[in-house]
Amino acid sequence: MRSPDLRTVVGVVGATALLTSGVNAVAFLFVIESLRLPAASVPTSLVCTAIGTLLAAPVASRLAGRFGGGSVMVGALFALVSGIALLGVVRAPGGAWAAYFVMGLGAGAGNVLSAANRQRLTPRPMMGRVTSAHRALAWGLMPLGEVLAGPLAESRRCAR
C-alpha cells in the first residue's frame, strides 16, 4: 500500500477487469442482436481476441525496452479501449472481429506489462501477498462489471 507505483499498477488492472468483464457480458448480445450474426458464430469473436493476445504478448516486453514500459502500457490500454469503442460503432461482422482483435492486442500487451511491473515493484518477501491481493481484486471485480453492465445495456436498449 505504501508504493504509489504498485498501487497504480494494481488499480489499473482492477479497473480494466471491471470494464472488460462488463463489455464481455453484453458484447455477445450486441453481435447477435445488432449485427444479426447467429449465436453459433460468437466463438469467432473470442478467437479474434485470442489471436490479438497471442500476437501482442511476446512483443510487449521488446516494445517496453525500446519505448519505455509506461508508454507501452498506456498504448496497450488505449488499444483495449479503442477496440471496445470500435465494437460499439461497427455495423458489420468484419468490423466486430477487427474490434475483438484490437481488444486482444491491448489485453495481451497490458497483461504482460502489468505482471512484469507488479513483480518488479514488489519486495520479494511481499510477493505472495501482493500477488494474492492483485488476483483477488482483479477477479473479484469481474462479476461486479458484469452485474453493472447488464442493467446499463438494458436501459440503453430500451432507450432506442
Q: Which amino acid is at 56?
A: A
pTM of the complete model: 0.86
Residue 38 three-state SS: coil
Residue range 60-102, pLDDT digits in tens: 989 999 999 889 999 999 999 999 999 889 888 899 999 999 9
pLDDT digits (tens, 9 = 90+) for 40-61: 888 898 899 999 999 999 999 8
Burial profile 109-124: b = 16 or more Cβ within 10 angstroms, e = fewer: bbbbbbebbbeebbee
141 touches 14 (CB < 8 A):
yes
